Chain A
Amino acid sequence: MLTLTCPYCGVTAEETELTPGGQAHLTRFGPGSSDAEFEGYLFARTNPKGVHFERWRHAYGCGKWFHAARCTATLEVFGTYPAQAVAPPDDLIAHIKARRPGWEGWT
C-alpha cells in the first residue's frame, strides 16, 4: 500500500486516504477539436513500465488534488507537486534523471 506526501498539507498519507485519478498532465479537448484529438483526450493513456506521472486526491485529508511521479515497476516515488503545475518541476525532472539515467523524459 503506497504512501504519498500531499504537497498542500504536508501529510504523508497512505493509499486508503487517497483516491487515484489516472494519468496527469492531460490536455482537455472540447468543442471544435478534431475526432483524433478528442479520442486521445478521452481514451489514450500511457502505460509505462517505469516513470509515470499521475493524479491523486488527498480525499480523506485536505481534499486537494496533486500530482505524483512514481515508478510503476518498483513503486519508487520520485516526488509530488501541486496539480496546478502544467509541467513537472525542474528539480523533480533532475531527480528522476539521476535515479533513472535511461529515462526518456516526461512528454
Chain B
Amino acid sequence: MTTRLARGGRLIDRGAPLEFTFDGARLRGYQGDTLASALLANDRLLMGRSFKYHRPRGPVASGVEEPNALVNLGKGARAEPNCRATTTELFDGLAASSQNRWPSLDLDVGVVNDAMARFLPAGFYYKTFMFPRPFWKHLFEPVIRQSAGLGPAPKDRDADRYEQIHAVCDVLVAGGGVAGLTAALAAARSGARVMVLDQAPHWGGRAPVDGGEIDGKPVETWVNDALQALETLPNVVLRSRCMVAGVHDHGHVLAEERIADHSPGDGRPRRRLWRIRAGKVIAATGALERPLAFAGNDVPGVMLASAVRDYLVNWGVSPGDRTVIVTNNDDAYRTAIALRQAGLAVPAVLDARERAEGDLPQQARALGIRVETGKAIARVQGRKRVTGVQVCLQAGEGAVLEDIPCEAVAMSGGWSPVVHLWSHCGGKLLWDEAGAMFRPDPVHPPTGASGQPMVVCAGAAAGALRLGDCVTDAHLAAGGDGGAPAGAAPIEAPLAPVWVMPQGAPVAMRAKMWLDFQNDVKVSDIQLAAREGFTSVEHAKRYTTLGMATDQGKLSNINGLAVLSQALDEGVPQVGTTTFRPPYTPVAFGTLAGEARGPLFQPLRRTPMHDWHEGRGAHWEPVGLWRRPLAYPAPGESVEQATRREVLAVRQGAALLDASTLGKIVVKGPDAGRFLDMLYSNLMSTLAVGRCRYGLMLNEQGFVIDDGVVARLSEDTFLCHTTSGGADRIHAWMEDWLQCEWPDWQVFTANLTEHYGQIAVAGPKARALLETLGGMDVSAQALPFMGWAEGQIGGVPVRVYRISFTGELSFELAAPAGQALDLWRQLMAAGEALGVVPHGTGALHVLRAEKGFVIVGDETDGTVTPQDLNMGWAVSKTKADFIGKRGLERPALTDPDRWRLVGLETLDGSVLPEGAHAVADGVNANGQRKVQGRVTSTYHSPTLGRGIALGLVRRGPERLGEVLEFPTIGGALVKARIVDPVRYDKEGARQNV
C-alpha cells in the first residue's frame, strides 16, 4: 500500500492538517501536499482511467508531465475538469472527483474497450467508420462522442475573476530551480531588470530532492540564501505559482499566475495572465524524466524514479514497502538510495546496461541493494496495482528469469531537457548521442526584433544535467563573469539509449508497452503506423494521437520518436521532433479572457441619451459598438407594433431620433475642398458656406464605402457626416490619404463624433416643435432645405441641419454632448402636446425605404457602384480625378447587365424574406439555379399598408413592371413586381417645406 511515513516530507507541515474529499470520501492531508501526494498518503493509488481503453491508472509522475492523474476539481461555478492531481495544491475543503469512468473509478464499464484492445489499434476509427457516409454524422460520431472525452465541461458561469498585467524586463528567467536562481543572480548583479518566474509554489526545483552541494552548502540551504539575496535586490521581481506558457515574437512572453487556485473564494482574482516583454529569456526549465517501455508499464504503482523520490522526500509518502528500480542510467539509483535510507525495501535495481560502476550504483551496493545489470522487466504483474515484476535479460526476447514481488516500480529512461521555450519561436534542436536527448542547438537560437538571439537555455534545459555543470552553465547563460557557483554531486556514468525492454520483445509484449499513457498509444501502435506508411513524425503523431493528450507528449514523446526511428531504421535526429507549441501547460480560458467578460466583454459605446433610452424601455440594435434604440415598445406592444406606430408618428406628426452615432469629422485647411473632391465621387469644393450636400465615398475599385451629408462651415472648413459604424474607419481613411499620398496638402482633420449629441426632429410638426422651444429662426426662409444654421434652442447651443433621411420635414440638431440630454428632454416635454414620440432605427429604416434611400451596408456590400444604386448623378463627370474614378472605368463596372437598385412589391402585399434571391432560367456550372437579383432591404410599410423591399436586379431599372420569383427557404415561391424604389412623395415636396 501507499502510505505516509512517520517522518520526512520537506514540503509538508504536519502541524497543519487539511481535510478534503475524493469521490465523496473524506480524507486528510497536510499543508504543502499536492492532491496526488495526499491521495497516495491515503492509499488512493487509483486516480483515473485512460482515455481509450479505460485502463486503471495511478500517477506516473509528480509534476506537470503527469498524464494519468487527472481529476475534476470543485463544483458548480468553480468546477474545472482535467486538473493534474500532481500539481494541484491541497487546501482545506478541496473536493475532487475522478473522471472518464462509469459507474465508479474502481468499477468502470468502459474497461471493456481494454479487452477489445487488439481490435482497436491506431487508426481504428479512421478505417472503420468511413462508410456509409451518412452513418458518420448520425450514428458513429454521436456514439463515439458519448464515450470519448475526459472530464465534463463546467456548465455554470465561472464564479472567479481573472486579470492580466503587462510588464517589461531586460531578463526573464523561466524556472526558479538552482539554474534559474544562479542565472537570476548573475543577471541581477549586472543591474538588469530581472523577473524570475516558477510554476511551483516553492523555489529550488528538484535539486533539493536530488541532493548535492553548491558552494559547500547543501542545495536547500543555498537555494534559501540565493532567494534571500534576490529578494533584497530592487531590480528583481520574483513570482512563484507563475508558469511561463510561451515565448512569442519579439520577446513577448505569456505567463499564467495561479493566485487563488488553492484558496478559492478568498476575494482575489483566481489567475492572472502576465504579458511580458523581455529583452532576453533565460529558459531554466529543467528536464523531465522519461519512462521506459516494458509490458505493463502503466499499471498503478509504476512511476518515474524521480516521482517516487519526490513523493518520498517532498511529502513523506511511501510508494509501497518494496520498490523495484528499473533504469538505463545512474540517476535512478538516487531513488534506490533514498528509499533504503527511509527504511523501505528495494528488492532489486534492474539496470539495462551491462555495467553500473558509477558513484551512485556503488553507493547503492554499499547499502546492500541488489543490482542486476543487463536485466529488464518482462512484465509487470497486477492490474489495479503492482504485485510484482518478472525479470528477463535486456538483450533477449523476454524469457522470464525470476519473479520479484513488489508494490511499486520506479523506472527511469533518462532525462529530456525542457526545450519548449527555446523552440516556441524557432530555436533548433540537436540530438545529443551521449545523453540520448534533444538539446538546444546554440548555433540556431530563436531571434528577436533586432535579429539577435532572444532565448538561451540554462542548466538542465540546455542539457547540463549534472549539478556542477548545471549551475556553471546557468551562470554563463546569464552572462555572469567569473565566480560561478560550484556544484558538487556524485559522478555519473553514461546512460544506455534503451527505449524498449527487452530488446527483442514479441508483439504481445509490445502491445502492452505504453508510450502515451493518457491517449493509450503503445509501442505496437507506433510500429503499425510506420508499417502503414506514416513515416513522417507529424503524420505518425496524428495517426496514433501520440503526444496529443493534455500533457502534450511531455512524458514520453521522445520515447515515441525513438521507437518510430527504430521502426523506420533511421536515426532519431533524422526522424526529428514534432513542433513544440505554447502553452507549456494548459492555460484557463478565463485567464486569456482576463477582465473581458460581462460588462467589460466589449466596450459599449453610449450616446448622451443612452440612459434615457434605457429608461424608456428601448429595444436595442447593435451598430458597431454602439447601441441604438431599434424601437420603444410601450407596455404590451411588440417591437413590430412599436415600429409601425413610430413610422406613422413621423409621417403624421413629429418624432425624435437619437442620431448621435453618425460620424462627424471636421476637415479644415486651404486644401480642404480639393481634398474632399478627391474623397467624394461628387464635387464638394463648390458647396456654398451654409449649405449641405449628400456625398458618396468610393474605394479605388469604384465601390461605395460610405455616404453622408457634408456641411460647409466656413471657406476652409467642412464637416463630413459618416455612417454610424464608419466614423473611425473613414477618419483613418482620410488620414491615410493625407499623410501618405498628399502630405503637402494643407488639410487637418479631427473626429468630433462624440463632441455632439445629435437629435433628428422629423415630421410635419417638426418646425412647430422647435418653435415651441424657441431661440432661433427655423423658418424655411431662414433655414431652407439642405441648409444649416447656428443658434440656440431651449437655451442649448446648437447647429441645425435641414436634412432629411425620412422624406419628411426634418431638422438635425447638433448640441454639445454634455447638453444634448437636456435638449432631448426639453423637446420631449415640449412635444407632449404635439404627440411627439421618440423613434428608433427600425422606423428610420422603413421611412427611408419608402423613400428609396439606400443604407451603406444594406444596399451595398463592397461590390456595388454608385451607378448600381442609380446614383450616377453623384459621380462627377467634370473632375479629373477622385478616388474610385479609374476603378469605375473597368469593363465589369460599366457592364449594362449589372444588378441595379429597384423597388420590389409582392403581388400579395406580403413582406419578402430578407436576402431572398430572384431566380432566373437555367442552372450555372455547379448545377445551381441561376439568379438575377436579390433583396437588400425588406419591411412592412405602415404608410402604404403593404410589404415593400429594395433590391438589386439585373438591368433592374429597365425592367419596371416585370414580375420576379423569389423562392423561400420553405420551398414556396413569392412573386414580386419590379417598381420604382421611391414609393412615397416622389417629388420630395414633404421634406422641402
Q: Are A76 and B886 in contact (CB under 8 A)?
A: no
In the complex with contacts A3-B250, A42-B887, A63-B449 CB distance below 8 A: no
Q: Are B889 and A1 in contact (CB under 8 A)?
A: no
Q: Given the complex, which residues of B lie within 8 Å of A71, measured CB to CB? A: 451
Q: Are B736 and A28 in contact (CB under 8 A)?
A: no
CA distance A31 to B881 in the complex (A): 6
B740 at the interface (CB under 8 A from A): yes
Q: Are B740 and A75 in contact (CB under 8 A)?
A: no
Which residue of chain B is the closest to A19 with respect to CB atoms?
Answer: B732
CA distance A71 to B732 in the complex (A): 26
Main secondary structure of the interface of B (DSSP, over half): mixed
Instruction: Tell me which of B449, B885, B887 contacts A75 (CB under 8 A).
Output: B449
Q: Given the complex, which residues of B lie within 8 Å of A75, measured CB to CB? A: 249-250, 447, 449
Q: Are A64 and B741 in contact (CB under 8 A)?
A: no
Instruction: Tell me which of A1, A32, A63 contacts B250 (CB under 8 A).
Output: A1
Count residues of chain A with CB under 8 A from any CB of chain B: 30
Instruction: Tell me which of B449, B700, B889 contacts A3 (CB under 8 A).
Output: B449
Q: Given the complex, which residues of B lie within 8 Å of A107, measured CB to CB? A: none
Q: Given the complex, which residues of A lie within 8 Å of B249, measured CB to CB? A: 1-2, 75
CA distance A74 to B450 in the complex (A): 10
CA distance A71 to B250 in the complex (A): 12
In the complex with contacts A74-B451, A76-B447, A29-B248 CB distance below 8 A: no
Q: Are B739 and A83 in contact (CB under 8 A)?
A: yes
Q: Given the complex, which residues of A lie within 8 Å of B889, measured CB to CB? A: 31
Instruction: Tell me which of A55, A64, A65, A99 contacts B451 (CB under 8 A).
Output: A99
B880 at the interface (CB under 8 A from A): yes
Q: Are A21 and B736 in contact (CB under 8 A)?
A: yes
Taking the closest CB of chain A, its distance from the CB of B145, in whole angstroms, is 35
B277 at the interface (CB under 8 A from A): yes
CA distance A3 to B276 in the complex (A): 12
CA distance A33 to B887 in the complex (A): 10
Which residue of chain B is the closest to A28 with respect to CB atoms?
Answer: B741
Instruction: Tell me which of A33, A76, A77, A84 contacts B740 (CB under 8 A).
Output: A84
B795 at the interface (CB under 8 A from A): no
Q: Given the complex, which residues of B lie within 8 Å of A29, measured CB to CB? A: 886
Q: Given the complex, which residues of A lie within 8 Å of B248, measured CB to CB? A: 1
Q: Are A2 and B739 in contact (CB under 8 A)?
A: no
Q: Given the complex, which residues of A lie within 8 Å of B886, measured CB to CB? A: 29-33, 38
Taking the closest CB of chain B, its distance from the CB of A42, in whole angstroms, is 6
Taking the closest CB of chain A, its distance from the CB of B746, in whole angstroms, is 14
Count residues of chain B with CB under 8 A from any CB of chain A: 27
Taking the closest CB of chain B, its distance from the CB of A45, in whole angstroms, is 14
B735 at the interface (CB under 8 A from A): yes
B930 at the interface (CB under 8 A from A): no
Instruction: Tell me which of B252, B735, B739, B885 contacts A84 (CB under 8 A).
Output: B739
CA distance A63 to B886 in the complex (A): 29
Taken residue by residue from 69 to 92, chain A's Cβ proximity to chain B (1 for < 8 Å, 0 otherwise) reads as 001001111000001100000000
Q: Given the complex, which residues of A lie within 8 Å of B31, measured CB to CB? A: none
CA distance A34 to B449 in the complex (A): 40
CA distance A28 to B701 in the complex (A): 12
CA distance A1 to B880 in the complex (A): 43
Residue of A14, A31, A57, A77 ringed by the most chain B CB atoms within 10 A:
A31
Q: Given the complex, which residues of A lie within 8 Å of B736, measured CB to CB? A: 21, 57, 65
A59 at the interface (CB under 8 A from B): yes
Q: Are B740 and A83 in contact (CB under 8 A)?
A: yes
Q: Are B887 and A2 in contact (CB under 8 A)?
A: no
Q: Are B881 and A30 in contact (CB under 8 A)?
A: yes
Which residue of chain B is the closest to A16 with respect to CB atoms?
Answer: B275
CA distance A14 to B885 in the complex (A): 37
Which residue of chain B is the closest to A70 with respect to CB atoms?
Answer: B449
Contacting B at CB under 8 A, from A11-39, are 14, 19, 21, 28-33, 35, 38
Which residue of chain A is the closest to B451 with respect to CB atoms?
Answer: A76
Q: Given the complex, which residues of B lie within 8 Å of A42, measured CB to CB? A: 700-701, 887
Instruction: Tell me which of A28, A30, A33, A59 contacts B732 (CB under 8 A).
Output: A59
Q: Given the complex, which residues of A lie within 8 Å of B250, measured CB to CB? A: 1-3, 75, 77
Nearest first, the 3 closest Cβ-Cβ pairs linking A and B are A76-B451, A84-B743, A1-B252
20 further contact pairs, Cβ within 8 A, besides A31-B881, A31-B886: A1-B249, A1-B250, A2-B449, A3-B250, A3-B277, A3-B449, A14-B277, A28-B700, A29-B886, A30-B881, A30-B886, A31-B880, A31-B885, A35-B890, A38-B890, A59-B732, A75-B449, A76-B447, A76-B449, A76-B450
Give residues in B with beta carbon < 8 Å to A.
248-250, 252, 277, 426, 447-451, 700-701, 732, 735-736, 739-741, 743, 880-881, 885-887, 889-890
Give residues in A with beta carbon < 8 Å to B.
1-3, 14, 19, 21, 28-33, 35, 38, 41-42, 55, 57, 59, 63-65, 71, 74-77, 83-84, 99
9 contacts between A and B (CB under 8 A): A1-B250, A1-B252, A2-B249, A3-B252, A28-B741, A30-B886, A74-B426, A76-B449, A84-B740
